[in-house]
Each structure stands twice: as structure tokens, then as C-alpha cells.
């Protein structure tokens, strides 16, 4: 008799698997938090504030690792990247256009087995990484302690982003959780030994968006009363530059041009009225969008 695995469990495993391996193979392991309106803001916040610190701390650990362990971790990351591709292909085969709202796709027996196999292979890698991490528990704990103030701020900021976008019922549940509980459930995972060890310290910095709009630079940073934005346009067309606050909320549109020619461009930005703080600018072209951080002192 064939095992009767609940469809909801199988799909949950697939979603968790995809989220986990998508991040670890690229040097991070966060993709914006729970689905919903807060996800873009969370992702922008994480890329700008959390990931650089995590990568910096992970780079400090790298010289302390045995050469054999560094090589084995590279193998694990390659394996996770392959599992990610398999998981994406499987999701596409299950629901090419996405499941209808409120419905779950029907899985074949072969698809169930594939999901379970992917989950099993990922679990095996994670257990192996966890075993290796035991050797480096003390330095990882020390690296986490060095950024404890930042971790507390991250937890508070991300909680605020989620609360702002939550329903009244969700806000009530969030309010019932203390800051300590939120920190353990949220920021603590960034320094779990196996996850931290698997992070690639040499991975290129990822943009919160696809980055397809081309290279951009902002000068000076920290910003002056009038700052200069340099950007490349790959495809002629409309260009907008939006100013976002530290949580990713749009404050105003700085630039809105209906037709900008392909090539390099420079734009002056009037920022004299901005209070001291952390901000983002988001540039959108026909090729895509890119979000980057700057500071006003």
C-alpha cells in the first residue's frame, strides 16, 4: 500500500525547501519574511541593513576554518544550488501558472516522491553542516555577541514593518509577543551555527530587486543638501526615482521622466529638507528597478 502523504504537508515541505536552499546557496538565507505587503519592505531592509553585517561577521570566521572544512562547505553550497534548481523545476511542473486562489495543485505520486527526496537531501546537508559547526560554536557565538545591539534593532525594525502591514488580528498577536520572544524567533536564526557556516562570505552583494536597470552611484554619501545620482539606462523609456524611508516606505518621487535615452545620465537631487537618518532611493526604468541605501547626516 502506498503511503498517503497529506498534500498540504508535501506542499509545505516544497515551499520551505525552496526558500531555504534559495538563500543559503547564495550566501544569505532571508527572502523578505512572510508573504504579504510587508515582504518588499522587509527584503529591502534586510539587504541594506542586515546582510552586510552578517557577511562581515562571516568573513571574520573564514580564516578560523580548517582548509578541509572550507572545501567541504563549498561542496555543500554547490549541492544546495543544484537542489534549488531542482526545486524550482518541480514547482514549475506542479503549477506552471501558479495554483488558483484558494486551491492546492494535485500532486502525482512521482511528484510527492521528488518533494520528499529533495527534502531528505537538504536535511542531510544541513545535519552535516550542523555537525561541522560544533567545532566553531565558540567563535560563532562571539561573532553574534559582537553585533547584539544591531540584532535587537533589526528585530524591532522588522517587527514594526510587519505590524504596519498586518491585519488587526495579526497586529494583536504580534503585540502579545514580547521583544525577547520576537528576537529569539526572528533574528536568532541569522546566527544559527549551521546556517551561518553555510553562508558564502565571498558572495556578491545582492540587490533588493533584480538590478537590471544598470549600475547606479550616489554622491556624496552621506548626502549633502544637493546630491548627485549617476545611472545607466539600458533601454530608452521612462525613468522614475523614488525616495524611500528607512523601512522602505515611499516618501516622494524625486525624478519622473517620460522618455530618457539609452546611456549614462546624471541627475541632481534636492535633499536639503530631509532629516538626519537612513534612506533608500529606488530607480525604475524599462529594464527593471534597483534600490540602494544612503545616509543623511
**Residues 8-30, mean pLDDT to the nearest whole number:** 43
Most confidently modeled of 22-26, 171-175, 259-263, 291-295?
Answer: 259-263
Integer Cα distance of 79 and 204 in angstroms: 19
CATH of 217-296, one of 3.30.420.40, 1.20.200.10, 2.60.40.2550, 3.40.50.2020: 2.60.40.2550
Query: pLDDT (tens digit, 9 = 90+) per residue, 46-104?
Result: 777 788 888 888 999 999 999 999 999 999 988 888 888 888 788 877 776 555 555 66
Integer Cα distance of 31 and 34 in angstroms: 9
Instruction: Give the pLDDT score at 137.
Output: 92
Banded model confidence at residue 256, pLDDT cuts 50, 70, 90: very high
Mean residue pLDDT across the chain? 76
Q: Which residue has the higher pLDDT, 151 or 136?
A: 136
Q: Which residue has the higher pLDDT, 179 or 47?
A: 47
Q: Looking at the predicted structure, is the pLDDT value of residue 148 above 60?
A: yes
Q: Looking at the predicted structure, is the pLDDT value of residue 177 above 80?
A: no
Instruction: Give the pLDDT score at 87.
Output: 83
Integer Cα distance of 25 and 27 in angstroms: 6
Tell me if 271 sits within 8 A of 224, measured CB to CB.
Answer: yes
Banded model confidence at residue 38, pLDDT cuts 50, 70, 90: low
What beta strand segments (E) does 193-287 contain? 216-219, 226-233, 237-244, 250-260, 263-270, 277-285
Integer Cα distance of 17 and 25 in angstroms: 12
Lowest mean pLDDT among 33-37, 269-273, 290-294: 33-37
Instruction: Give the pLDDT score at 174.
Output: 61
Most confidently modeled of 26-30, 165-169, 243-247, 251-255?
Answer: 251-255
Q: Which residue has the higher pLDDT, 38 or 221?
A: 221
Across the beta sheet with 277-285, the strand order is 250-260, 237-244, 277-285, 288-296
Q: Which residue has the higher pLDDT, 1 or 99?
A: 99
Integer Cα distance of 292 and 47 in angstroms: 9
**For the chain, domain boundaries:** 38-93+109-198, 217-296
Banded model confidence at residue 207, pLDDT cuts 50, 70, 90: very low
Strand partners, 108: none
Nearest alpha-carbon partner for 116 in 16, 217, 263, 255? 16
Most confidently modeled of 46-60, 122-136, 185-199, 232-246?
Answer: 122-136
Left (φ > 0), alpha (ψ -120 to 50) or beta: where does 129 sit?
Answer: alpha
* Cis-peptide into 74, omega within 30 deg: no
Q: Looking at the predicted structure, is the pLDDT value of residue 15 above 50?
A: no
Lowest mean pLDDT among 29-33, 199-203, 218-222: 29-33
Amino acid at each position: 500500500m502506498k503511503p498517503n502523504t497529506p498534500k498540504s504537508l508535501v506542499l509545505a515541505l516544497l515551499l520551505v525547501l525552496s526558500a531555504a536552499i534559495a538563500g543559503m546557496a547564495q550566501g544569505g538565507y532571508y527572502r523578505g519574511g512572510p508573504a504579504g505587503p510587508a515582504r518588499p519592505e522587509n527584503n529591502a531592509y534586510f539587504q541594506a541593513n542586515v546582510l552586510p553585517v552578517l557577511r562581515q561577521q562571516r568573513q571574520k570566521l573564514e580564516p578560523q576554518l580548517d582548509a578541509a572544512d572550507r572545501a567541504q562547505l563549498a561542496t555543500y553550497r554547490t549541492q544546495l544550488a543544484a537542489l534549488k534548481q531542482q526545486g524550482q523545476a518541480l514547482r514549475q511542473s506542479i503549477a506552471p501558472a501558479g495554483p488558483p486562489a484558494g486551491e492546492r495543485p494535485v500532486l502525482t505520486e512521482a511528484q510527492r516522491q521528488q518533494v520528499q527526496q529533495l527534502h531528505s537531501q537538504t536535511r542531510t546537508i544541513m545535519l552535516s553542516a550542523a555537525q561541522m559547526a560544533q567545532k566553531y560554536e565558540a567563535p560563532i557565538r562571539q561573532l553574534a555577541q559582537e553585533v547584539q545591539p544591531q540584532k535587537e534593532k533589526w528585530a524591532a525594525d522588522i517587527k514594526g514593518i510587519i505590524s504596519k502591514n498586518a491585519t488587526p488580528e495579526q497586529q494583536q498577536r504580534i503585540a502579545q509577543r514580547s521583544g525577547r520572544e520576537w528576537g529569539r524567533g526572528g533574528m536568532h536564526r541569522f546566527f544559527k551555527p549551521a546556517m551561518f557556516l553555510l553562508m558564502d562570505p565571498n558572495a556578491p552583494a545582492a540587490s533588493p530587486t533584480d538590478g537590471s536597470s544598470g549600475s547606479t552611484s550616489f554622491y556624496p554619501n552621506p548626502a549633502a543638501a544637493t546630491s548627485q545620482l549617476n545611472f545607466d539606462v539600458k533601454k530608452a523609456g521612462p525613468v522614475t526615482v523614488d525616495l524611500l524611508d528607512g523601512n522602505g516606505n515611499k516618501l516622494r518621487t524625486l525624478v519622473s521622466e517620460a522618455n530618457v535615452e539609452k546611456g549614462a545620465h546624471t541627475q541632481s537631487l534636492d535633499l536639503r529638507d530631509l532629516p538626519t537618518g537612513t534612506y533608500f532611493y529606488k530607480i525604475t526604468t524599462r529594464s527593471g528597478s534597483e534600490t540602494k541605501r544612503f545616509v543623511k547626516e
